[in-house]
Structure 1
Amino acid sequence: FFFPDPLLEEEAVKLKKGENQPIWLTVYVPKDAPAGNYYGDLMLRGLDERTVKVNLRVHDVVLPDRKTLKLSNFISSYNISKFYKVVPWSEEHWALLRAYARNMAEHRQSSIITPILELTRIYRDDGCLEFDFQLLDRWINLFREEGVIGVIEGGYLAGRPPRTVEGWWTVPEFLSTPYHVLNKDGSLAYVQESVRVSSPIFENFISQFMPALQNHLEEIGLLDSYLQHIADEPIDRNAESYKYIVNLVRRYAPKIRTIEASTCKQLVDYINVVVPLLDDYDRNMAFYEERKKRGNEVWFYTCLSPTGRYPNRFIDYSLIKVRILHWINFKYGLDGYLHWGYNYWTENPFEDVENEPHHPFPLPQETPS
């Protein structure tokens, strides 16, 4: 079955007799426009012409340019290159990324998840590693140029094994995120595959990468805007492994703050920006209010849960349960909101409504140009 959810940017639509076709109009109002009702005509042209009267009400309020809510919807650069069939990090890919950055800014996103290891060129040099952050700078500048100005979220340093591995969610030890190492001439030297984070290989990398990253962020004046993800949604079962990684990061890059989507209470001293599930915040409000007093910044997140009486962004929810999400931020003084699925499209994003992996649907192919 189909939901009338995507807004298709079509100049013309063919209809059979008796069919109905809704049309969505977006009107951009200048900041200095007086409040009140405005009237006009909408012309529909086909084999014939029809004029429809329209009424626009302008409220006496102006949205500020500065965004105070820290809004994070995770973008996947890989999914963009895959969907549009372009080479990753080619000029075509960067043009597409700019289009999606513009879309994010139009919807007031102020935080950008950043695939930090993929955007860093790592070179080997006499047993040591050197780091080139030019692609990282280009990524940051692109999003800031389009208006996504606020938090830079560094992608995960570690994670769980693939879901095909039995017990993948409850593994006691996280695995490092793979990365490529290049020769001086730019050719591939080797791929560092995932290892247990207790491996000396992992600490050797962190001991070189994190100080270099911290120094670079200081040089470009963005250290205060940067937050580092460690491993997604840690639980009690792998909390000690998570603590181990954070201790490494704090040892080698003590100025870098951390952020994580997590409901694991024993980790709050290891996470600067705590992001619990909405229902966990509701059930443990006093706990999180106390964390605010102790210096934690507190956001909240939703994903495939919570459900039931809780607001979320499911396609079959009443609209009020979607729109009220950020009123929760306002009422309870929560600094941000995180959702994992900006563009995690399936093979048929316009037909698959069983999940919530994309906000928005894919933009038209010609948008980037």
Structure 2
Amino acid sequence: MNGTVLETRCLSSLAKVFPDQELTDPVTDKGSALRNEAFSFQVAFRANHILKELKVRIESDLAEQISVRSVGLVPSELPIYGDHDDFILRAAPGLYPDPLYPVDEKEGLTALPVQWRAIWLTVDIHAQTPPGIHPIRIALEIADGERLAEELFELDIIPASLPKQRLIHTEWFHADCLAVYYGFEVFSEQHWEMIDRYVLSAARHGMNMLLTPLFTPPLDTAVGAERPTVQLVDVEKSGESYRFGYEKLTRWIELCLRRGIEYIEFSHLFTQWGAKHAPKIVATENGESKRIFGWETDASGEAYGNFLSQFLPSLVTYIQDHGLAGRCYFHVSDEPNIESLASYESASRIVNGLLPQFPVIDALSDYTFYEKGLVKRPIPSNDHLQAFLNNGVPELWTYYCCAQYKDVSNRFFCFPSARNRILGMQLYKYEIAGFLHWGYNFWFSQLSQKPVDPYRVTDALHAFPSGDAFLVYPGKEGPVESIRLEVFTEALQDLRALQLLESLIGKEKTIELLEERLAGPLTFTEYPQQAEWMLTKRDAVNRAISELHPRSN
């Protein structure tokens, strides 16, 4: 660094800045975006000695629309499985950039000797933001106002607005993890307030469907164990008859709708990986609250069948009375395999028989389940989509989790951000209707055997590659968002921009622009791996839209 006190560099949102290596991403000091879009970029910095209380000054006509966050580092003991492919940044355990911390005005930033760090800047572009090129000057100053370094970024705002998101997107929301981490009683006023803050963040980042715990979701739970009770439906048992109360469910749904959630995803009615048992259900019987169903309950038995035959018609009436019929989706069991075909079939017949008018969605990757008519809306993983695409399955969804670590898109710490963002273009080309992921805020160890501190344990205690289990961290006042969350939001914006372009020039020409000069068609396993290609392609989409929207407003 010679005599330079502070060195800075403008980078795109797709760069990951590690403290222990030189920057390899090219300088990115220009970009374009549409209205109603959140556009992010970074400024990396390092000093030749410790500098504390660095202040960030933004000089731009967009300054009021720009948020500044510090890119934090968190540990990863399990970055990736041993037989990974080559499209990763590194496989070694260590510190990885991910959480985005608000910059405290008093404390400012700290530059550590010879370590690259970064700040993350997001421009919230409104529908009325003036089009054209907006210079954004980012200065780093010490306490007395002396300016040590500055960068200039130019953002070109296109006079066209992103259309409303059509993709249905859910990242499973774990209400029990919030209660446990913050030490709140489940559904206390403190818990409700924190739920509201996390739902708001989710909705702002393109999640328009929320997992809703009718009963404690039977997900990631060790056989015979149970997760904290987060049951929204009150149940009163009298002999073989049941009465149901929906006060908490109503509050939950009203919160969701108020914050921008459009679809309600009711939690699974049978246990994970095969639908062999009932979820944990608590009821009041003879004045005593107790668990009436769980791992000991045979899913196909008379007792649980009798319960569902009373509960689901009651729930349908509730849905209809509240005008929610077009918003509600149901689940049978998560990720059944072919060995559990018979038990899943039995459970599916019950649910579909009682809910013929509602979409039933499940994450499963064997085409046999759909072929036999056992699931109305299959959700295969993105590395098992082809059989479903080949057979023209309508309104197809997809998902990924820890198992999708070869060839396809995913969001692990050790993956380049381009591997996260490419999914938007893939979803567009193949007209995927929905995307599901299991971990918005899963802060437990594998199988929910104990809580973990997500700032220290990022792999569900040596279970899943870091980055699989959650997208947000727990902050004192609410969620601390992540690089991966912001980049996935950019992927969703890419999808919407392509849909806007399609409305102007048609699908065929949009695909031609998307695949221009590629060696082969864009697929879920074959796609450009360079961040520069992705940024350039999105800019080309913006330019094509701009040509049809003169800069007259």
The interval holding the TM-score normalised by the smaller chain is 0.7 to 0.9
Conserved? CA contact 1:312–1:321, under 8 Å: yes
Conserved? CA contact 2:235–2:242, under 8 Å: yes
SS in 1 for 2:384: helix
Match of 1:355?
Answer: 466
Are 2:136 and 1:37 equivalent residues in the alignment?
Answer: no
Q: 1:254 to 1:18 in 2, by over 3 A?
A: closer
In the TM superposition, 1:147-186 aligns within 5 A as: 147-149=260-262, 151-160=263-272, 174-183=276-285
Are 2:112 and 1:13 equivalent residues in the alignment?
Answer: no
CA drift at 1:343: 0.5
Q: 1:178 to 1:43 in 2, by over 3 A?
A: same
One-letter code of the match for 1:86?
F
Match of 1:164?
Answer: none
CA drift at 1:33: 1.7
The separation in 1 between residues aligned to 2:238 and 2:409, in whole angstroms, is 52
Answer 1 or 2: which has greater strand percent. 2
Q: 1:363 to 1:26 in 2, by over 3 A?
A: farther
Match of 1:166?
Answer: none
Conserved? CA contact 2:363–2:378, under 8 Å: yes
Are 2:160 and 1:78 equivalent residues in the alignment?
Answer: no
Residue 282 of structure 1, aligned match among 376, 382, 386: 386
CA drift at 1:46: 3.8
CA drift at 1:284: 4.9
The answer to which structure, 1 or 2, has the higher relative contact order (CA under 8 A, 6+ apart) is 2
Q: TM-score, normalised by structure 1?
A: 0.88
Q: 1:190 to 1:111 in 2, by over 3 A?
A: closer
Conserved? CA contact 1:108–1:148, under 8 Å: no
Residue 3 of structure 1, aligned match among 85, 89, 96: 96
Gaps of 5+ in 2: 1-93, 216-230, 445-451, 459-464, 480-553
Conserved? CA contact 2:184–2:190, under 8 Å: yes
CA drift at 1:323: 0.3
Conserved? CA contact 1:345–1:358, under 8 Å: yes
Conserved? CA contact 1:261–1:276, under 8 Å: yes
One-letter code of the match for 1:188?
S
Are 2:244 and 1:128 equivalent residues in the alignment?
Answer: no
Match of 1:143?
Answer: 256
Match of 2:438?
Answer: 340
Match of 2:377?
Answer: 273
Are 2:290 and 1:227 equivalent residues in the alignment?
Answer: no
The separation in 2 between residues aligned to 1:301 and 1:16, in whole angstroms, is 39
Gaps of 5+ in 1: 161-168
What number of residue pairs does the alignment pair up?
349
The separation in 1 between residues aligned to 2:387 and 2:357, in whole angstroms, is 32
The separation in 1 between residues aligned to 2:388 and 2:322, in whole angstroms, is 39
CA drift at 1:17: 5.0
Match of 2:293?
Answer: 192
CA drift at 1:257: 2.4
The separation in 2 between residues aligned to 1:104 and 1:284, in whole angstroms, is 29
Conserved? CA contact 1:214–1:256, under 8 Å: no
Conserved? CA contact 2:331–2:361, under 8 Å: yes
Conserved? CA contact 1:343–1:359, under 8 Å: yes
Match of 2:39?
Answer: none
One-letter code of the match for 1:209?
F
Q: 1:326 to 1:182 in 2, by over 3 A?
A: same
The separation in 2 between residues aligned to 1:174 and 1:190, in whole angstroms, is 18
Residue 27 of structure 1, aligned match among 116, 123, 136: 123
One-letter code of the match for 2:434?
G
SS in 2 for 1:180: strand
Q: TM-score, normalised by structure 2?
A: 0.60
Q: Percent identity?
A: 24
One-letter code of the match for 2:145?
E
SS in 1 for 2:383: helix
Residue 67 of structure 1, aligned match among 148, 165, 171: 165
CA drift at 1:210: 0.8
Q: What CA deviation, in whole Å up to 9, does each residue of 1:299-323 have, x standing for no partner? A: 0110012222211112211222110
Match of 2:402?
Answer: 304
